Chain A
Amino acid sequence: MAQYTFIASRDPFESRESEHTMSLAGELRRSGHEVTVFLVQNGVLGARKSSGSQGLSKLAREGVRILADTFSLKERGIDHARLEDGIEPAELDLVVDHLAEGRRVIWH
């Protein structure tokens, strides 16, 4: 089984494609792969608890690790206490870790 990391940079409220990519992440997880979604830039706008964040919470319950870049959160004034359930703040270093480990890191 492979390890996938999706760097989700797009505003989920603007792009339907974000939803499709998250579906793909879920599909890969259900296929038995280890999957991480790392929200960065406007991708973190979907991390604040809202009607639009529930899809990510569902993914987290399915075993996808959902992380949000601490700098992007701070830049947008998103308090960690207001993150959707299942989403953790994380440093961008983790993406470099995953690249160095040879995981399949895919920018979206």
Chain B
Amino acid sequence: MSEKKKITVSIMDGPFENARTVTALRLIDIAARRGYDITVFAYEGAVSLAFVKQTAHANAVHGRDAAEEDHPLPREWIAALLQTATANGGSIDWINCGLCVDERGMSEAIPGTRRGSPADLLKAAEAADGTLIIGTR
């Protein structure tokens, strides 16, 4: 039996600001469906992606109430990805960089994520088959 693949992804963008977030989550989704062991190191603004207080809203410009608008919330996407990975025999270790959490006041993250440090990124990268760093601008 071949060994389970491990990938590490580091991201930096907060929610609703940049297409990089969606591309990163698409990559993680693909790996989760394959049952890979995935480490995500959320650095800088990305620690806000799993913030519990993200809230959907209506959109008068679109003419839709909150239910109809069904606004994406990255915290829900992440929760779904965590489940998908587990359901397919893999895992996602979602790590929020602790100092970045502190300075942004983002201590309330969804269950299944944890606080960590750059040492975690290094450790995960050393063990991974492949590592992708997605910077920001």
Q: When A and B assemble into the complex, do they touch directly, with CB atoms less than 8 Å apart? A: yes
Which residues of A are in contact with B by a Cβ distance under 8 Å? 7, 9, 40-42, 71, 92-93, 95-96, 98-103, 105, 107
* A96-B7, A99-B131 known, 4 other contacts, Cβ within 8 Å: A96-B30, A99-B27, A102-B130, A107-B135
Q: How many B residues have CB within 8 A of the partner chain?
A: 18
A41-B19, A42-B19 known; A99+B26 contact, CB < 8 A? no
Which residues of B are in contact with A by a Cβ distance under 8 Å? 5, 7, 19-20, 23, 26-27, 30-31, 34, 36, 129-135
Chain B: which residue is nearest A92 at the CB level?
A: B26
**Bound state CA distance, A101 and B27, in angstroms?**
15
Please name all residues of chain B whose beta carbon is closer than 8 Å to the beta carbon of A102 when the two chains form the complex: 129-130
Please name all residues of chain A whose beta carbon is closer than 8 Å to the beta carbon of B133 when the two chains form the complex: 107
- Tell me the number of A-to-B contacts counted with CB atoms below 8 Å: 49
Least CB distance from B43 to A in Å reads 13
Please name all residues of chain A whose beta carbon is closer than 8 Å to the beta carbon of B34 when the two chains form the complex: 96
Interface centre among A7, A92, A93, A107, by most chain B C-beta atoms within 10 angstroms, is A107
Please name all residues of chain B whose beta carbon is closer than 8 Å to the beta carbon of A92 when the two chains form the complex: 23, 26-27, 30
Please name all residues of chain B whose beta carbon is closer than 8 Å to the beta carbon of A98 when the two chains form the complex: 130
Least CB distance from A26 to B in Å reads 22
Choose among A9, A71, A101, A103 the residue that contacts B20 (Cβ–Cβ < 8 A): A9
